[in-house]
Amino acid sequence: MTEQNNLKFTSSNEHINELLTHMNIISDLGAFSALADWDQQTGMPEGAGEARAHQMATMQGLIHERLTNPRLGELVLQLEEIVKQPEYTDADRGLVYHARRSYDQSTKLPREMVEEMERVRVKSFEAWVKARHNNDFASFSPWLQRTVEFQREVADRFGYQECRYDALLDLYEPGLTASRVDVLFAPVREVSATILKRIQESGHKVDTSSLSNTFPVEKQQELNKHLLESMGYDFNRGQMAVSAHPFTTSFGSPLDVRLTTRYDEKNLLWSIMSSLHEGGHAVYEQGCASSLLRTPLASGASMGVHESQSRLWENGIGRSEAFWRGQFPIVQRAFPEQFQNLDAKTFAHALNHVEPSLIRTEADEVTYNLHIIIRFEIERALINGDIAVESLPSIWNSKYKEYLSVEPPTDTLGVLQDVHWSSGFGYFPSYTLGNLYGAQIYSKLRSVFPDFDARLEQGDTRFVLSWLQENMYAYGATYKPADLLKRVVGEEADPQYFVRYLTEKFSGIYGL
């Protein structure tokens, strides 16, 4: 069976066709829910939150009703053994796996709880936006407490082997446990702290003066559009908007995949890096095989795998000197006064300036994972009942002082900076997993293309996208994350790739 045929469903089987009908409807409802969420974060009137909360709760109730339909359970049971036969495709097997997983999870939660969780999520987001703007953790705290209580109940209903937090990790990375995170993150923590110390002791400074200027927002928008187009993002199947926290969403991958970024006239780095980051997510979704449309397979294999692409495009490629040798003319055309006398190397090095900071999304590659480890430790303790919501600001600040030797002067710059806790827990480790997976994929790309840097210097990134589409993106969520990673790089997750990548890159930039 060819790889192309493996991404098609076996239409001759009536049970496969019936399962597809079920999952098509669920996928369509999910797309409308995502559209409502997109609108809430990009253009919904401020006073519409109450109505939107009920609308989205209703939608989640309808999705839950479909996912808990007894007939869906019967279909999965009938097909689980059948699809093991060689005449069935990997798409068939992936569809049954995801249907089983969704059915089992959904039947453990009552519809009333699912609807109320969605109402709380929508209102919690609104509360977070205001609290962050007003530096008012106390106003967000009651909503966060309700989210924590719901997440604990979800974990208890799903069940777990080691600790309650494991059930939430599994939602984003199937099979992941906190103990496994500890093992994977240990070398990351060590190399991050070691390189940071070496950089600080070296006395070497990177010139960042080129980023200290005024950059009109409309010009930033034009620049980001060009950069996204250069990496292969298709605006005929996408859109770029503005939101408080950048994100990527799909209303039917690969046909409608949208992203957001944010702008500050005094900070060009924000919009460039967030656009490349979200662009990585977006080209992954746009690269899914069209035969998987309207099914749970038309998405990333897991959030860790998804983040591997955002981090690969943002950092491995998007912060490399070779990339900017090819793309810097675009920057100079957008901002001739600011960059006419600057070269690509100086600009690229400025993007790789290392300094402990307060804000995760602005962090350099060396310190970024320390931000994630802080959140992982807090989330695990919070969900397992070891700390209380009201103590989060002080715990957050003490951990930042311990890990990064900085202390947030406000909660806006501290515990309120991320949107994620307004909707749930267990996502943050995906970012560092993404760095680990991304480093392995980056290494694979460089071995496949010995002239990798030379091509980037010529402004060519399509060869990267083409290879990733053929070897990874097209499969969507057909395979489990560990299986997909093996198909792409030929081995299991190994944090040593990231250790080597980080060490070699910043030893070169800082002359260590």
Catalytic machinery residues:
278
Question: In sequence order, which residues have a C-beta less than 8 Å from that of residue 310 and are 6 or more positions away?
Answer: 248, 277, 278, 279, 280, 281, 434
Judge contact between 154 and 101, C-beta under 8 A: no
Amino acid at 90: D
- Give 502-506 contacts, CB < 8 A, sequence gap 24+: 502/191, 502/192, 502/195, 502/365, 502/366, 503/191, 503/195, 505/352, 505/365, 506/195, 506/199, 506/352, 506/354, 506/365, 506/366
Q: Is the peptide bond before 329 cis (omega within 30 degrees of 0)?
A: no
Q: What's the rounded Cα separation, in Å, for the pair 32 and 252? A: 10
Q: What's the rounded Cα separation, in Å, for the pair 438 and 501? A: 10
Helix (H) or strand (E) holding 74: helix 70-82
Helix (H) or strand (E) holding 261: strand 257-261
Strand-strand pairing, 257-261 and 238-242: parallel
260 DSSP β-pair partners: 241
Q: Strand, coil or helix: what is 258?
A: strand
Q: What's the rounded Cα separation, in Å, for the pair 392 and 404? A: 17
Q: How many CB atoms lie within 10 A of CB 74?
A: 12
Residue-wise over 491-504: b if at least 16 C-beta within 10 A, else e?
eebbbebbbebbee
Q: What's the rounded Cα separation, in Å, for the pair 166 and 154? A: 11
Question: In sequence order, which residues have a C-beta less than 8 Å from that of residue 115 and are 6 or more positions away?
Answer: 57, 58, 60, 61, 64
Q: Which tokens is 179 given?
A: 């103990």
242 DSSP β-pair partners: 261
